[in-house]
Amino acid sequence: MMHRQIKTRAAAIGALGLGLVLSVSAHAMEAPPSTAHGRLQFLRCASCHDISAAPSAKIGPNLLGVYGRKAGSLAGYSYSPAMKAADFTWDEAHLDRWLTQPTSLVPGTAMAFAGISNAADRAAIIAYLRNPVR
């Protein structure tokens, strides 16, 4: 009888340990997006957009400080009429929708970009845009 109780307790402890491992693994998968990963993913954007305090001349607007900025409002950049008429501020939801498919958010935009289907990559780019890692 005692041997059976020990085996039952050992099995329960083992299951508890496995549960903790699975819980930690699941939590790690839900970890906030990494700005370092976002910096890497931003390379997709870097051919057209800059994100520096001393921007170079690129085809798209500088994205430094884009999070929290009104859409189509960067001084000195010539936006499309559709983007000038956009009435929202760049936040997570708008950036995510934009990065998924720009034309679904702003029909008529001049930005020729198919979008990013991977949600984790989009979240990482948004994290990077919020806090650019140098």
Q: What is the pLDDT of residue 25?
A: 37
The whole-model pTM stands at 0.74
Token code pair at residue 14? 């083992």
Q: Distance (Å, rounded) from C-alpha 106 to C-alpha 90? A: 12
Q: What is the pLDDT of residue 133?
A: 65
Q: What is the pLDDT of residue 22?
A: 35
Q: What is the pLDDT of residue 80?
A: 96
Q: Distance (Å, rounded) from C-alpha 60 to C-alpha 45? A: 9
Q: What is the pLDDT of residue 134?
A: 56
Count the neighbouring beta carbons within 10 Å of the beta carbon of residue 92.
14
Is residue 122 within 8 Å of 99, Cβ to Cβ?
Answer: yes
- Which positions of the chain have pLDDT values less than 50? 2-3, 6, 8, 10-28
Q: What is the DSSP letter of 29?
A: H
Helix, strand, coil share of the chain (percent; to 5): 50, 0, 50
Q: Distance (Å, rounded) from C-alpha 125 to C-alpha 41? A: 6
